[in-house]
Amino acid sequence: MNEDVDISVDFAGIRLANPVFTASGTCGYADELADFMDVNQLGGFITKSITLKPRKGNATPRIVETDSGMLNAIGLANIGLDAFVEEKLPILEKLSPAVFVNAAGLTIDEYVAVVKRLTGEKAISGFELNISCPNVAKGGISFGTEPTQVAEITSAVKSAAGEKILIVKLSPAVTDISVIARAAVDAGADALSLVNTIPAMAIDIETRKPVLANKTGGLSGPAIKPIAVYLVNKVYNEVAKDSEIPILGLGGIRTASDAIEFIIAGASAVAVGTANFIEPGCTPKIIEGIKRYCVRKEIQNIKELIGSLE
Contact pattern for ligand FMN over residues 45 through 84, marking x by CB under 6 A:
---xx--------------------x-x-x-x--------
From the list 51-59, 109-117, 250-258, 261-269, the region that binds ligand FMN by CB under 6 A is 250-258
Q: Under the criterion CB under 6 A, does residue 24 sit at the interface with ligand FMN?
A: yes
CA angle 104, 106, 110 (to 5 degrees): 65
Q: Are 173 and 141 in contact (CB under 8 A)?
A: yes
Rounded CA separation 80/308 (Å)? 41
Rounded CA separation 175/159 (Å)? 28
Task: Give the bridge partners for 165, in sequence order.
Answer: 126
Question: 294 an active-site residue?
Answer: no
Q: CB-wise, 5 or 70, nearer to ligand FMN? A: 70
Q: Under the criterion CB under 6 A, does residue 283 sit at the interface with ligand FMN?
A: no
Q: CB-wise, 46 or 294, nearer to ligand FMN? A: 46
Rounded CA separation 163/310 (Å)? 36
Rounded CA separation 138/111 (Å)? 13
Rounded CA separation 58/55 (Å)? 9
CB of 58 to ligand FMN, least distance (A): 11
Residues in Cβ contact with 208 at an 8 Å cutoff, skipping those fewer than 6 apart: none
CB of 198 to ligand FMN, least distance (A): 9
CB of 66 to ligand FMN, least distance (A): 11
Residues tagged active-site: 133
Which residues of this protein are in contact with ligand FMN, per CB under 6 A?
Answer: 23-26, 48-49, 70, 72, 74, 76, 102, 130, 133, 169, 196-197, 220-221, 224, 250-253, 272-275
